[in-house]
Chains A and B, each alone.
Chain A
Amino acid sequence: MEKNFIIAGFGGQGVLLAGEVLATAFMLAGKHVTWYPSYGAEMRGGTVNCEVVAGDEEVSAVNKLETDFIVALNQASFDKFLKKIKKGGTMIANSTLVKELKTRTDMNYIFAPITKLAEELGNIKMANILALGIVAKASKMISLEHLIDALDRVLPPHRKNLLPLNIKALKIGYEYDLLPA
């Protein structure tokens, strides 16, 4: 079954990189996958997003009308993409920056304080990768091992020193309790 993911946030939150890591993980898992960025005359501080489509057959189309999983790292992305979620789909929202409002009843919400968790880990820049841990857990489509291998591939040599911290971030996301009391 083909599934699609949109990762969205402020420019600078590492949205495109997170998408690339996710797409690489799908590739390593032997899936067909396509990564496509939003691009245009973008401004600093504006929203940015990318779509990752993965499945067992050749990927058909990007820019799909509906989305299975959305990761919203900021409020603007949450507001923009909420209506795009498929019935039964999932919104993973960064509750540090997004208000916990559930206006739709035909889909799932996961609110996690992604930025706060990354800050507690010691580096706010890990928020994007931490979010991928939550994606892995919520989607059940990709393993932590493939995401770790993907990180190792995608991080450039001069950033390899950050690999252990990134892996830690992934695990914190993966182990985050999706159903808090």
Chain B
Amino acid sequence: MATECITNKKVLTKGNYAIAQAAVLAGCECYFGYPITPQSEIGEFMSGKMQELNRGYVSAESELAAINMVIGACSTGAKAMTSSSSCAVSLMQEGLSYATSDQLPVVLVSVMRGGPGLGNIYPSQGDYFQATKGGGNGDYKLIVLAPSTVQECVDLTYKAFYLAHKYRNPTVLLADGLLGQMMEPVEFKEYPYPEIDNSGWALTGAKGRSGRVIRSYAPLAEDQCVFLEKLYQKYKTIEENETEWEEIGTEDADIILVSFGSTSRNVKTAVKMCREKGIKAGILRPITLYPFPNNRLKELACIAKKFIVVEVNMGQMVNDVRLAVNGKVPVELIHKPVGAPPAPEEILDKIEELI
């Protein structure tokens, strides 16, 4: 068993390896993937470890194949995953739409790099839309978790497997090149979530029971209406129960910064610098990007005078913050197109310009 890698002491680990090791400890039974920088270490780790543990590993011939292999494995109720990056996650969009409709517990690790197109291999947050809005067809949502430290890469990988199975919905761990490549001390604790019983729906062979079908096809209009209503009832439950965020210094803040992932670390430092200068700033960091902390942002819009979103893209999450705040207070954007997040000093300068 993989218990050998559970440690109660800290180990200096690279983000990508941390995610891979956490997936193994979460009980991932099958990994299917195709290499791409900056997340190739995940597949590399899995290629050795999964074999050692007698679990499934396939280096797929393409990303399209990989996501469909995950769909196949998840149909049997197995814990299965793939990992990829930006332009290659684009190739998986059809599969994700199908997996959502099939209600399958697919886990996708998406380590963002520069885009659009082939872009480059530097860190980016340009796939916020890709993850939260999707490029697949139809009405669907993916649960999206955004780590900001290597320890969170571990903790949220555990959570991704749990939520995917609890709600039978594809779940994305949305990291970026910075987190994937950095090393930090982490603790690998035991998988903290209960195991979900998939025996009520999984395709496990029809011995002693009638056969089951998993498909995303409803030829009659009314059937599709019923299905979508049910699907969105599920999303409502997810929104009520699973929305997660972190807040620092918001209780008396005039300015609320909103930032996710690795960028939020720099923003936290900028907020500290603001406070030292007497600027009443606070930060709200969404940990789940879907479900998004809309209600909390709405509440804070009654206290704060201004929101400033900081992200490494041309401005994506800022749209969701604007929707949540609904015109109550101005929502500004500080951004960098691609690469390492703006330095705390640069963020501070821009904040001072904006207020």
User: Would you give the shortest CB distance from B131 to chain A, in whole angstroms?
Assistant: 23
B340 CB within 8 Å of chain A: yes
Name the residue of chain B whose CB is nearest to the CB of A2. B269
Check: A101 CB closer than 8 A to any chain B CB.
no
Binds A, one of B60-68, B132-140, B158-166, B177-185: B177-185
A62 touches B178 (CB 8 A): yes
Point out the residue from A20, A40, A41, A64 that lies within 8 Å of B183, measured CB to CB.
A20
Q: Which residues does chain A contribute within 8 Å of B182, judged by CB atoms?
A: 34-36, 62
User: What is the number of contacts between chain A and chain B, taking CB atoms within 8 Å?
Assistant: 55
Closest to A63 in B: B340
**Alpha-carbon separation in the docked complex, A39 to B182 (Å):** 11
Name which of B10, B183, B343 has the most chain A CB atoms within 10 A of its CB.
B183
| B6 in the interface (beta carbon within 8 A) | no
Could you tell me if A59 and B343 are in contact, using CB atoms closer than 8 angstroms?
A: no
A40 to B338, CA, bound (A): 13
Residue contact A60 to B266, C-beta cutoff 8 Å: yes
Shortest CB-to-CB span from B339 to chain A, Å, is: 8
Expressed in whole angstroms, the Cα–Cα distance for A60 and B183 within the complex equals: 14
A78 CA / B184 CA spacing, docked (Å):
27
Tell me whether A63 and B181 are in contact (CB under 8 A). no
* In the complex, B341 has a CB within 8 A of chain A: yes
In whole angstroms, how far apart are the Cα atoms of A41 and B113 in the complex? 13
Minimal Cβ-Cβ distance residue in A for B347 = A61
The reply to whether the CB of B105 lies closer than 8 angstroms to some CB of chain A is: no
Tell me whether A59 and B185 are in contact (CB under 8 A). Answer: no
Contact status of A61 and B184, CB under 8 A, knowing A23-B12, A41-B121 = no
List which A39-55 residues lie within 8 A (CB) of chain B.
Answer: 39-41
Q: Does B265 reach chain A (CB closer than 8 Å)? A: yes
Question: Are A27 and B121 in contact, CB atoms less than 8 angstroms apart?
Answer: no
- Across the interface, name the chain A residue whose C-beta is closest to B177: A39
Residues from chain B with Cβ under 8 Å of A61 in the complex: 265-266, 269, 341, 343-344
B299 an interface residue at 8 Å Cβ cutoff?
no
Within 8 Å by CB of A39, from B181, B183, B343, lies: B181
Whole-angstrom CA separation of A64 from B182 in the bound complex: 14
Residue A89 CB within 8 A of the other chain: no
Q: Which residues of A contact B345 (CB under 8 A)?
A: 65
List of B residues within 8 angstroms of A113 by Cβ: none
Which residues of chain B from 7 to 36 have any CB-CB distance to chain A below 8 Å in the complex? Answer: 10, 12
With A27-B185, A33-B12, A60-B269 given, can you name 7 additional A-B contacts, CB distance below 8 Å? A23-B183, A27-B12, A36-B178, A39-B121, A40-B121, A60-B268, A65-B346
26 contacts between A and B (CB under 8 A): A20-B183, A23-B12, A23-B183, A27-B10, A27-B12, A27-B185, A33-B12, A34-B182, A35-B12, A35-B184, A36-B181, A36-B183, A39-B121, A40-B122, A58-B149, A59-B265, A60-B265, A61-B265, A61-B266, A61-B269, A63-B340, A63-B341, A63-B343, A64-B343, A65-B345, A65-B346
Interface residues of A (CB under 8 A from B): 20, 23-24, 27, 32-37, 39-41, 58-65
Closest 4 CB pairs of A and B: A60-B269, A63-B340, A35-B183, A61-B266
Query: Which residues of B approach A to under 8 Å, CB–CB?
Result: 10, 12, 38, 121-122, 149, 177-178, 181-185, 265-266, 268-269, 340-341, 343-346
